[in-house]
Amino acid sequence: MLEWIAGFAVYVSLAAAQDAETDLRRAMEAAADGRHAEAAGILRDLLGREPDRVDAWYFLGVCWNRLGVWAAAEEALEKAFSLGADSGALWRERGIAAFGQGDAPGALEFLEKAPADDAEVHFVRGETLLSERRYAEAIEALDRALSLNPRYETKIRLLRARALNGLGRAQEARAEVGKGWQKAQGTDLQAPYERQRAWLVREGRSRGLLSGSVTLGFRYDDNALLIPDDESNVAEDLTDEEDAQGTARLRVDSHFYRRDDTTLGATGIVHASSYADLDDYDLIEGVLLAWGSRAVGPLAVSLFAGGEYATLDSDSYRSAWIGSILARVRWEDDLGVWASYSRHEREYLGQTGLNQEDRDGPFHAVEFGSSFRPGEEPVRMELSILYDRANAQGDSVRYEAKGIQAGLRWGFSGRWEAWGGGRWKRFDYDEANVRNGFTEEREDRQAEGFAGLSWEYSDSMVVEADLAYTNHRSNLEEVFQYDRFTVGVSVSYLF
């Protein structure tokens, strides 16, 4: 009887071992066929029966890595290591899991113990070094991976382009994208290549000593105006008014200092516009802006300061100037925050027959905002808080304005970008309205929606179209109010 029991136990043990080997083989076949989730399920069932199988823990970690479940991969690989595994492949997979979790130093430490003749080791090491902005070392690792296994070429070209651009070698970066472009068509890498190509064209152009753009545009406004009646002083008359505006703009950028992670530059803009249906309104603006930026680890810190002067042929005011300062901090390219302050003054002629010639203002404007890009998607969301204040001098208007603005930009197909959003502002006027005979407290509200589409026709030409709708209302009927619908189109030549 005891012999029969002992024999049955041996039979069961052998059968279990055979089942385990069968499950392991099934899991490896599924993984080899790209069915990593199925393989992980088989391995987890196997480990439920035999929790000390080192090979099962290792292959489970590999499956989790391929599925991007980094924490679970590290846990499985750590378990395999604790059971005695110490192969070069194990260190490679641990490096991949660490990099996936954002632990670049840990990843590099693990990869140092991995086989030196493994192309994937050098590829992941190149990715990790690139994330640490160690561009020259990243290129060296990627080149080593390519020499060991040419099948990585398409991925490596893309990463080399990013590293070369980080070194300021934009022309070489564009050449790398060009080499991998055709092979990426119809694959998962097509969209990343298109985004990288479009970004490198813009970035490479802006990194030159002198660069810029010439823009010609046309805008059409359709206004529905509620104009106060001369006798009753109540806004009852609904008047349709159409305006056509032609615009021309020249922008010149200069990066006159670039060293390590610091860049200094200046931007100059001249903008002219004229209304075809309003002969008394022409505008010429000049803007000069100095700026500097510095990379501090994953952060990019920028400071902008400058001024704008405008001269106008208008029945409202004839000149204005604006001084502005803006600070921005960006975490890599995913999250940015900024704050700005501007002071605006203008020479006011008076629309109410007073003909005073004083400085209307100053106007003070403060803005806080943030932008966010989710993951690798070519989408950027923005949200900002606005605050304006106009101080009275003489008989000028005094008010405070508060608002919020939200927007979304989406790049697609490499050369197209769409955007849209909305803005809402509230204007609170004080007793200065006595100038116009308003003794009541005045409160205006303005809502605006906007959208646009940009098409990069070529590396040096961009076409844009946009539209906007604005609704402006006041609690006082005798105040000028309006609805405005605007469409515009422009063509820019970039040099």
Listing DSSP states for 216-252 in one string gives EEEEEEEEEEEEEPTTT--EEEEEEEEEEEEEEEEEE
Taken in order 135, 140, 142, 143, the sign of the CA dihedral is positive
Per-residue pLDDT for 55 more than 60?
A: yes
- pTM as predicted: 0.59
428: domain CATH number? Answer: 2.40.160
60-69, 214-223, 270-279, 382-391: which range is least confident on average? Answer: 270-279
pLDDT score at 212: 76
Same domain, yes or no, for 192 and 333?
A: no
8: domain CATH number? Answer: 1.25.40.10
pLDDT score at 438: 52
Question: In the listed set 202, 231, 258, which residue is the last one of a domain according to the structure?
Answer: 202
Q: Which residue, chain included where needed, has tokens 């400071």?
A: 303
Same domain, yes or no, for 118 and 215?
A: no
Determine the distance from the C-alpha atom of residue 393 to the mean position of all C-alpha atoms in its chain, rounded to a whole number.
Answer: 41
Q: How confident is the model at residue 10 (pLDDT cuts 50, 70, 90)?
A: very low
- Side-chain half-sphere exposure of 312, counting CA atoms within 13 A: 18
pLDDT score at 144: 92
Same domain, yes or no, for 231 and 95?
A: no
Q: Which residue, chain included where needed, has tokens 């010429």?
A: 284
Give one word for 120, left, alpha or beta, with left for phi > 0 and alpha for psi -120 to 50. Answer: alpha
AA identity, residue 315: D
pLDDT score at 5: 34
Contacts of 494 (CB under 8 A, 6+ apart): 205, 211, 212, 213, 459, 460, 461, 462
Distance CA 414, CA 122 (A): 29
Query: 170 vs 202, which has greater pLDDT?
Result: 170
Same domain, yes or no, for 279 and 193?
A: no
Same domain, yes or no, for 272 and 416?
A: yes
Question: In the listed set 202, 226, 257, which residue is the last one of a domain according to the structure?
Answer: 202
Same domain, yes or no, for 146 and 229?
A: no
* Average pLDDT of the residues in 220-243: 63
Same domain, yes or no, for 198 and 217?
A: no
What number of residues does the chain have? 495
Alpha-carbon distance values, 256 to 206, 207, 263, 268, 337 (Å)? 12, 10, 8, 13, 26
Q: How confident is the model at residue 465 (pLDDT cuts 50, 70, 90)?
A: very high
Contacts of 438 (CB under 8 A, 6+ apart): 429, 476, 478, 479
Going by the DSSP 8-state scheme, the letter that residue 35 receives in this structure is -
Same domain, yes or no, for 172 and 256?
A: no
3-state secondary structure of 101: coil
Consecutive H or E run containing 2: helix 2-32
- 1 token code pair: 């009887």
87-101, 211-225, 320-334: which range is least confident on average? Answer: 320-334
Domain of residue 327: give its range. Answer: 210-494
Enumerate long-range contacts of 143-148, CB under 8 Å, 24 or more apart.
145/119, 145/120, 145/121, 146/119, 148/117, 148/118, 148/119, 148/122
Distance CA 95, CA 75 (A): 13
* Average pLDDT of the residues in 61-79: 90
- Average pLDDT of the chain is 77
Same domain, yes or no, for 226 and 145?
A: no
State the total domains in the chain: 2
Same domain, yes or no, for 217 and 196?
A: no
Same domain, yes or no, for 162 and 114?
A: yes
Question: In the listed set 141, 174, 202, which residue is the last one of a domain according to the structure?
Answer: 202
Cis peptide before 362 (omega within 30 of 0): yes
Same domain, yes or no, for 381 and 232?
A: yes
